[in-house]
Structure 1
Amino acid sequence: MLSQMFNAGRAGPETASDGTQYIFKPSLVGGAAQFDLTDDGLSWQVRGKQGVWPLEKIAAIRLSYRPVSMQSRRFRADIEDTRGERVTIYSTTWHTVALMSPQDNGYRAFIVELHRRLAAAGSNAVLIIGINPTIYLGGLFVVALVGVAMLGLLIRALITGEFGGALFLLGFAALFGWQIGNFMRRNRPRGYTFEALPKEVLP
């Protein structure tokens, strides 16, 4: 009985298996967001708003990797139309205050199908990987400062014989490098094409 209740709590919104529909709950407050690929284009319903964008009106897509404390496998797609209006799709869905689950297969299928349809329609949409270049460069600067500071502390710990502290710093540096390094590597700003979707920012 307990396992059935747990599995029910983990069950995500139903989506079409062919990639033409994707549903997720972006937050604990409010209802689910729904996206559909129809003959008219991209149909969406988000936070009480809705619209239909013809494929030729989609101006840009930005794919990125956006982990959070509760879910390390979290991806994001920002889709913008020619008027500058934007909708955001996440690869995760909220269930409870303590449970955010991935929807890797449904998210990936929808993103792949969206790109396939745009390519078939001869779209000129700008395709971008990663975060804003200015933010990315700022992040690199902060990472470099933290790295220099930690190196200085490590050298001081070794000189003074504080080997316990040195081991702690090495462990922290390894964890920091793995988490932040993975984020920066995946989100390096660059373009991509319809024929080669980026694996780094897709589940």
Structure 2
Amino acid sequence: MPTSLPNQATEGEGARTISYAYKASLISSAHQFELTDAGLSWKIGRRSGVWPYADIASIRLSYRPMSMQARRFRADIARAGGGRIAILSTTWQTVSLMTPQDQGYRAFIAELHRRMRAAGSKASLIGGIGTVTYATAVVMLTLLAIAMIGLLARALATSEFTGALFLVGISVWFAWTIGGFIKRNRPRRYSFDALPETLLP
């Protein structure tokens, strides 16, 4: 039976150490992270390091669903002077099972922001996808909506009610999935005191 990766808080000599881990793929080793007194400690395969909280240059939170897991969130963290790591809210357990780790991910990300603020961080806090990518997605979604409306009108005009019903079903599904992705990932800035709820599980 698959078991979850350890995501927990432990008491140390100073502030408590909070850990989080996930597997990005079934065959990869676990990506392991800890919030320590010294900073954000990470280990990915053979690579490892500790980034002082004040050295973190930016955090981007986004919603990244996949076909096997609709509730999937991501934090991209960059360090001043170079270096970037990603933290995902899901982990692979079997060839067909990607498991959400909502509580552990949310607690880890919230505590990371708290410690960065306490360290006097000046990091850029960004929510959603890039502005250009978002604008392109909105334009494509608008063009697709116009095309779907045209096809629906044609189907109704020619009494193709089965086709019209199919188009309505596709439109509802598309609005639910793609529309939700676009809405959650609207580009924005946020503060340490107000993390974007739509980009956290």
TM-score, length-scaled by structure 1: 0.93
What secondary structure does 1:21 align onto? strand
User: Is 2:120 aligned against 1:122?
Assistant: yes
The CA distance in 2 between the partners of 1:178 and 1:127, in whole Å, is 27
The CA distance in 2 between the partners of 1:134 and 1:127, in whole Å, is 18
The CA distance in 1 between the partners of 2:45 and 2:157, in whole Å, is 57
User: Is 2:139 aligned against 1:141?
Assistant: yes
Deviations 1:129-184 (A, max 9, x none): 00111111111111111111101100000000011111110111011001111000
Shift of 1:39: 1.0
1:6-155 → structure 2 map (5 Å cutoff): 8-9=1-2, 11-17=3-9, 20-155=18-153
CA contact (8 A) 1:22 1:34 kept: yes
More helix by share: 1
CA RMSD across the alignment: 1.1
Task: Supply the AA of the counterpart residue of 2:35.
Answer: L
Task: Supply the AA of the counterpart residue of 2:86.
Answer: T
Task: Supply the AA of the counterpart residue of 2:6.
Answer: E
User: Is 2:190 aligned against 1:192?
Assistant: yes
Count of residue pairs brought into register by the alignment: 195
Deviations 1:57-86 (A, max 9, x none): 000000000000000000000000001310
Shift of 1:96: 1.5
The CA distance in 2 between the partners of 1:143 and 1:41, in whole Å, is 41
Percent of aligned positions that are identical: 55
The CA distance in 1 between the partners of 2:144 and 2:82, in whole Å, is 37
TM-score, length-scaled by structure 2: 0.94
Structure 1 unaligned regions, length at least 5: 1-7
